[in-house]
Amino acid sequence: MGYFTPTMYKKNVREIPYHILKKMGIKCLIFDLDNTLATIDEECSDELVTWIHQLKKDFLVLIITNNTKKRVASYKKKLNVPIYSFALKPSIKTVSKISKEYSLKKDELCIIGDQLMTDIFLGKRFSIMTILVDPIAKKDLKITSFNRFVERIILKRYKRLQYLERGKYYE
Ligand SMILES: [Mg+2]
């Protein structure tokens, strides 16, 4: 079904049925940061801290981002989860490292993000579960604009093929 089709597609991270993921045997959630957990210029909110804290009861929670160390500073300080910056997604290097470091099998890992070209492509390349969410805001990092351009082309094609359509969330 194409290199960029996610396993699941939801409006945002709050809509993901985590209890189902748990039943499926998922042990580790790997979140993207920008436009998945927060907007690109938002510092770590208390609300996010509470929410992640809840998730940590059932899953190992990690964040991987292509953004800088400086960007993740407030998240590192407040969230108390491993955060990998400058991950060069869709390179599988970081996720491969995580899987070894925590002795996790591929079917125990799930990557969640807002970009087909980085988050979903990475997950597909590494053969793990992928969940696409809509970007929280329209505003992206400059380096993302090319990816969004390609993403629009893919989405056009996927809509025609009935693989994936923006706003038509998977059940
Ligand atoms: Mg993102």
- Closest by alpha carbon to 148, among 106, 110, 99, 115? 115
Give the separation between CA 12 and CA 169, rounded to whole angstroms: 10
Whole-number Cα distances in Å, 4 to 47, 108, 113, 129, 147: 31, 20, 12, 12, 12
pLDDT per 10-residue tile (average), the chain, 171 residues:
91 97 98 97 96 98 96 96 96 97 98 97 97 94 90 95 92 71
In angstroms, what is the span from residue 35 Cα to ligand 1's centroid?
5
What pLDDT is stored for residue 1 in this prediction? Answer: 72
What pLDDT is stored for residue 141 in this prediction? Answer: 86
In angstroms, what is the span from residue 104 Cα to ligand 1's centroid?
24
Give the separation between CA 38 and CA 143, rounded to whole angstroms: 17
In angstroms, what is the span from residue 15 Cα to ligand 1's centroid?
17
In angstroms, what is the span from residue 110 Cα to ligand 1's centroid?
15
Write out the CATH class of domain 8-160.
Answer: alpha beta
What pLDDT is stored for residue 143 in this prediction? Answer: 83
In angstroms, what is the span from residue 23 Cα to ligand 1's centroid?
26
- Closest by alpha carbon to 144, among 119, 161, 127? 119
* pTM for this prediction: 0.95
CA–chain centroid gap for 140, Å, is 15
Task: Write down the domain spans for the chain.
Answer: 8-160
Residue 106 per-residue DSSP state: G
What pLDDT is stored for residue 60 in this prediction? Answer: 98
Give the separation between CA 165 and CA 170, rounded to whole angstroms: 10
SS (H, E, C) 6-48: CCEEECCHHHCCHHHHHHCCCCEEEECCECCCECCCCCCCHHH
In angstroms, what is the span from residue 111 Cα to ligand 1's centroid?
12
Report yes or no: 64 and 95 within 8 Å, Cβ to Cβ: yes
- Closest by alpha carbon to 2, among 148, 171, 118, 163? 163
In angstroms, what is the span from residue 20 Cα to ligand 1's centroid?
23
- Closest by alpha carbon to 89, among 32, 26, 142? 32
In angstroms, what is the span from residue 145 Cα to ligand 1's centroid?
12
Task: For ligand 1, an ion, list residues with CB under 5 A.
Answer: 32, 34-36, 114
In angstroms, what is the span from residue 12 Cα to ligand 1's centroid?
12
